[in-house]
Amino acid sequence: MTLRPLAMFAACLFVLACASPAFAQSPPPEPVEDDVDAELKTSVDDPSLQSLDAIVVSGRQPGPGLWKVTRGDRTLWILGTLTPLPRRMEWDTSAIERRLSQSQELLLSPGMTMDADVGFFKGLMLLPTMLKARKNPDGKTLRDLVPAEQYARWAVLKQRYIGSDQGVEEWRPLFAALELYNKAITRSGLRQDAEVAGTVRKIARRNDVKTTDPRLVIKIENPKALLKEFQQETLDDTVCFERTLARIEGDLGVMAQRANAWAQGDTETLRGLQARNTQWSACTAAMTDNAVARKAGMQDIEARVRQRWFEAAEAALARNKTTFALLPVGQLLAPDGYLSLLAAKGYVIEEP
């Protein structure tokens, strides 16, 4: 989901699916810098909030290496993207600029976006409906919907990362989990924004390199009606909720180590720290495996996103001698990820 037009944000029913690293390039907006600094200071001053096993790097870092994919005289350079990353990090983009300036096209990450033909003010009118959609349709609270053991874990984590806000208790488990996850990431000295993709796009513009966005676009004909239907839809999202709790409880320190390895260009460490059993597949399933999602055309979304990217990639390789692409690191390192599929098609893969 692109976050530039507010109307698009209002029209997007599937906020969590769009926020998932598998499907998005633009996560939810972050707090303003002053608020972030205050949160980070609080986490440093309060020992109860210091749950990381790794110190997050800061300052100028070499950044990640590039994967090289070739077949015949055609070359595809791939930069693996990662989220979250260190908040205070600067990375050396000289190698990226050199390869990208020699390319004829930049291919952005795979993803999904929704398109609704609504104007700015109509989008504003949709916001109250969308905000209602994240609440439980029957007035129940989290305590009513999740097992007691999970709620006890939630209460501890909520107090640590969100505080005393009671409004979130009325949210569906999926949306409450996402709010908790985002707050925990911020408090850990990490960030989830699209800085890397934004930097690469600026380099492409500076060097007059064509940019292609391969995201799958799903057209929403009547967003207001669909939002109202979604308000009454029951989601099977307790697995998403539990896995998010587990990720925050057990993986924040590893997230920091992964972020450090990416910043320092340490591919081997990054490979050894790949996330397993993340919450995203369960949360995406909760958003897409329901009647409203099927009505909106969300069936088989992951396969369609992947197919759309491969179509765009092979078209770019056919017309260019050199192409530069962005792909999530997880898709590069996974045994059944995008690199393995490229290798199956006869491409030669060289790691950084």
Considering the chain, what is the average pLDDT of its residues? 79
Q: What is the model's pLDDT at position 124?
A: 43
Express as a percent the part of the chain with pLDDT over 70: 76
pLDDT higher than threshold 90 for residue 288: no
Q: Which residues lie below 8 Å from residue 340, measured CB to CB, with a gap of 6+? A: 334
Helix (H, G, I), strand (E, B) or coil at 88: coil
Is 58 among the domain residues? Answer: yes
Give the pLDDT band of residue 201 (cuts 50, 70, 90): very high
Residue 88 has pLDDT above 70, yes or no: yes
pLDDT exceeds cutoff 60 at 44 = no
**Is residue 181 scored above 90 in pLDDT?**
yes
CA distance 233 to 225: 13
User: Does 34 or 336 have the greater pLDDT score?
Assistant: 336
Q: 67: closest CA among 57, 59, 77, 58?
A: 77
Q: Which of 172-176, 208-212, 218-222, 317-321 has the lowest mean pLDDT?
A: 218-222
Please indicate, yes or no, if residue 1 is contained in any of the structural domains.
Answer: no
Residue bearing the bigger pLDDT, 58 or 87:
87
**Angle ∠(283,287,289) on CA atoms, nearest 5:** 105
pLDDT at 116: 64
More confident residue, 332 or 295: 332
Confidence of residue 10 (pLDDT cuts 50, 70, 90): very low
- The residue assigned the tokens 């290798």 is 343
Query: Distance between CA 27 and CA 310 in Å, rounded?
Result: 23
Residue with tokens 């697995």: 239
Q: Decide if 181 is inside a domain.
A: yes
Number of domains in the chain: 1
Residues 254, 273: Cα–Cα separation, whole Å? 7
pLDDT tens digits, residue range 114-171?
A: 776 555 445 444 555 566 788 888 889 999 999 999 999 999 999 999 998 889 999 9
Average pLDDT over residues 100-119: 84
50 vs 131 pLDDT, higher one:
131
The H-assigned helical ranges of the chain are 6-11, 15-19, 33-45, 94-101, 120-133, 142-145, 148-161, 173-187, 195-206, 223-232, 238-263, 267-272, 280-288, 291-295, 301-319, 329-333, 338-344
> How far is 258 from 1, CA to CA, in rounded Å?
25
d(CA 180, CA 316): 39
Q: Which amino acid is at 244?
A: T
In a domain, 304, yes or no: yes
**pLDDT band for position 11 (50/70/90)?**
very low
Helices (H), 189-279: 195-206, 223-232, 238-263, 267-272
What's residue 119's pLDDT?
53
Say how many C-beta atoms besides its own lie within 10 A of residue 74's C-beta.
Answer: 17
Length in residues, the chain: 352
Structural domain containing residue 104: 6-350
Asked whether the predicted pLDDT for residue 33 surpasses 90, the reply is no
pLDDT band at 99 (very low <50, low <70, confident <90, very high): very high
Indicate whether 156 belongs to any domain.
yes
For residues 30 and 183, the answer to whether their CB atoms sit within 8 Å is no
Q: What is the pLDDT of residue 89?
A: 72
SS3 345: coil
